[in-house]
Amino acid sequence: MKPMLSPRAVLGAFLALLLVAPLVMPPFYVTLLNYIGLYALVALGLVLLTGVGGLTSFGQAAFVGLGAYTTAVLTTATDLPAWLAWAGGSPWLALVVGLVFTATVALVLGSLTLRLSGHYLPLGTIAWGISLYFLFGTLETLGGHTGLTGVPPIAVFGYELTDGSQIFYLIWAFLLSAVLTTQNLLDSREGRAIRALKGGMVMAEAMGVNTARSRMVIFVIAALHACASGWLYAHMQRFVNPTPFGLHIGIEYLFMAVVGGAGHVWGALLGAGVITVAKQWLQDILPRLFGQSGNFEVIFFGLMMIVILQRARDGLWPLVARLVPVRATRRKLDAAAEPLPRKALPARGEVILEAKEVTRKFGGLVANNNMSLTVRAGEIMALIGPNGAGKSTMFNQMSGVDTPTSGEVLFLGRPVAGRGSREIARMGMSRTFQHVKLLPTMSVLENVAIGAHLRGDKGVFPSAWRLDRAEEARLLNEAARQIERVGLAEHMFDAAGSLALGQQRILEIARALAADPCLLLLDEPAAGLRFKEKQALAELLRKLRGEGMGILLVEHDMDFVMGLVDRIVVMEFGEKIAEGLPEEVQQNPAVLEAYLGGVE
């Protein structure tokens, strides 16, 4: 076995190197490191936005420009309007103004673009990226294409950072705090919601996550990182012009994040480092090689990108991480954490879900016709029928995903129609999916913890600064408790994607349970399971029923349902053809006809 290094020791060694770097390196290299730090700060925002959140932005350079121009104007202007005069002359006050201004712009741009899906979102970011760039070059007060000069240095405790080797420490302090807070954020309730955005939006909403809010959160955070980078840049260069804030630089930032490893916070630093050094090196060497000057590095650079994206789709960080064997930090569970409060379950036998004469038409097709049914606390109700009978449509009416053409569905006496899946989850109805929806690279524990999302309330700032640990311990404890309850304890820390299908289905039930529901809706939970897995599932459902849970099961598999459930409603062609105890339904001629003579 290879000796493993502790993450603390590696970080400590890295800090020590940074500390001495400006003392021993020639100024040229210190400047290079400064640029790497500035670029990495922007790329880090993109790791969060694009790599983790799946939202591609080509427009980050414009936010860098906002930060740079705000501080340049505020620290050089001699005739600021009265309402802004307080912020004049001080880089630190200008940083505050810049951050607030950038957050405002990001909120506006975000509310316009984040709703766009597919390739429209990146196109949207290109559009505003170009607009802001031309705004910088056009506005008279910003100095047009020549820009603004005479930007003062930043002072820290009265000590002016005039030299590259001095601002070096400030740049890297910003970068390292950004990396560490981002790392903290991702490892929290808020972070799990963010990590669910890529590929798990429907699931996340059903677990009570406000995905629109999470998208906006990472968009604003990424913009703020870019703004801080621009602020540092302006005071390092001591002048600003529009050139470094154009679209092609925005593309380069995206390259940095992707090449470094867009899913990893340290990948931002690696990507910024590799690309900055490579460009510098190519700029030096290529003209000599070709014996004439020209922008050869851009051409080489493009080719290099294609090769890296071909060979290492997850970027370079995973490759580097393999070379330096850092011990993985596994989340420790704190068994002493106080349990989360639980809602009281309705009394056994009480009707909790009631569909009244529900009809759903799709154009001329009547998918559900005058369907009525009830589910009681402490019972398992099955809705069965051949393929195409209208079961999933009925499931959607009852879970609030779809609205009936006529009739209504009441959950705990309140209508379900018109409520979003988040609100329904909060009311105590929790569901699994016919096609399993998990986050395969996240651990079983983290997947189940998403189910407990609506039982916590700590947001971005407490998470970034680790002020959420008490709540986090309670949430993880709850997730662990549900994992034990369904019998997956030995897989607690495995990646969810590594489980067999049967176990993944059971994981979904644990996730639904973590929301503290009184009603479980399961759409074809036995589909694709082997005999043993079906038995384990049936046993779990019996146990939950015994604890007073109401369960509605949509099933196609008669055998699975027969020995398990209390009552059955049989559907065919959108209508109820039978209802009753399993034994009764099994003898019903209409049901036998539907199953034996039907679509099967």
Which partner, Mg ion, ligand ADP, none, binds residue 234 by CB below 5 to 8 Å per kind?
Answer: none
How far is 492 from 482, CA to CA, in rounded Å? 10
Give dist(CA 491, CA 486) in Å, integer: 11
Q: What SS3 class is residue 394?
A: helix
| CA dist., res. 527 & res. 419, Å (int) | 29
Specify which residues 381 forms β-bridges with.
552, 567
Of 367 and 538, the one with the shorter C-beta distance to ligand ADP is 367
Exposure of 305 in the CB half-sphere (CA atoms within 13 A): 16
Please give the structure tokens belonging to residue 252.
């380069």
**Phi, then psi, of 384 in degrees rounded to 5:** -125, 170
Minimum distance from residue 494 beta carbon to ligand ADP (Å): 32
Q: Given candidates 88, 246, 378, 385, which one binds ligand ADP under the rule CB under 6 A?
A: 385
CB atoms within 10 A of CB 297: 19
Query: Which residues does 185 contact at the CB level (< 8 Å), separation at least 6?
Result: 48, 191, 194, 221, 460, 463, 464
Helices (H), 199-332: 201-206, 211-237, 247-261, 265-290, 296-311, 317-323
If phi > 0 it is left, if psi is from -120 to 50 it is alpha, else beta; for residue 32 that is alpha
Residue 390 interacting entry, from Mg ion, ligand ADP, none, C-beta within 5 to 8 Å by type:
ligand ADP
Candidates 65-73, 330-338, 362-370, 486-494; binding stretch for ligand ADP (CB under 6 A): 362-370
Cβ at position 530, least distance to Mg ion in Å: 21
Q: Which stretch binds ligand ADP (CB under 6 A): 345-353, 380-388, 443-451, 588-596?
A: 380-388
Among 144, 318, 388, 598, binds ligand ADP (CB under 6 A): 388
Q: By C-beta, is 121 or 398 nearer to ligand ADP? A: 398
| Site for ligand ADP contains 367 (CB under 6 A) | yes
Report how far residue 585's alpha carbon sits from residue 600's, in angstroms, rounded to the nearest whole number.
18
Nearer to ligand ADP, 364 or 413 (CB): 364
Nearer to Mg ion, 393 or 463 (CB): 393
- For residue 391, state whether it binds ligand ADP (rule: CB under 6 A): yes
Residue 226 and residue 47: Cα distance in Å, rounded?
A: 12
Interacting span for ligand ADP (CB under 6 A) from 1-9, 107-115, 239-247, 384-392: 384-392
Q: How far separated are the first and last CA of the chain, in Å rounded?
A: 55
Picked from ligand ADP, Mg ion, none, the partner binding residue 432 (CB below 5 to 8 A depending on kind) is: none
Compute and round to an integer the Cα radius of gyration of the chain. 29
Residue pointed to by tokens 């009830």: 374
CB 269 within 8 A of CB 260: yes
> Which range of residues in 122-130, 264-272, 303-311, 361-369 is near ligand ADP by CB under 6 A?
361-369
Single residue of 14, 281, 362, 465 touching ligand ADP by CB under 6 A: 362
> Which is nearest to 254 in space by CA: 516, 46, 555?
46
Which tokens go with 237?
Answer: 């260069």
Report the residue number, 322 or 435, with the smaller CB distance to Mg ion: 435
5, 15, 365, 581: which one contacts ligand ADP (CB under 6 A)? 365
Contacting ligand ADP within 141-180 (CB under 6 A): none
- Choose the contact partner of 385 out of ligand ADP, Mg ion, none; CB within 5 to 8 A by kind: ligand ADP
Binding site for Mg ion (CB under 5 A): 392
Residue 396 Cβ vs ligand ADP, minimum distance, rounded to whole Å:
8
Strands 380-384 and 550-555: parallel
| Number of neighbouring beta carbons within 10 Å of residue 539 | 12
CB of 569 closer than 8 Å to CB of 381 = yes
Number of residues that bind ligand ADP (CB under 6 A): 11
Residue corresponding to tokens 């949430």: 475
Contacting range for ligand ADP; rule: CB under 6 A; set: 46-54, 225-233, 382-390, 461-469: 382-390
265 binds, among ligand ADP, Mg ion, none (CB under 5 to 8 A by kind): none
Return the one option of ligand ADP, Mg ion, none that residue 43 interacts with (CB less than 5 to 8 A, by type): none
Contacted by 387, from ligand ADP, Mg ion, none: CB < 5 to 8 Å by type: ligand ADP
* Burial annotation 247-260 (CB, 10 A radius, 16+ → b, else e): bebbbbbbbbbbbb
Residue 393 interface partner, choices ligand ADP, Mg ion, none, CB cut-off 5-8 Å depending on type: ligand ADP
Q: How far is the CB of 570 from ligand ADP (least distance, A)?
A: 11
CB of 37 or CB of 385, closer to ligand ADP: 385
Q: Does 389 bind ligand ADP (CB under 6 A)?
A: yes
Q: In the complex, which residues of this chain contact ligand ADP (CB under 6 A)?
A: 362, 365, 367, 385, 387-393
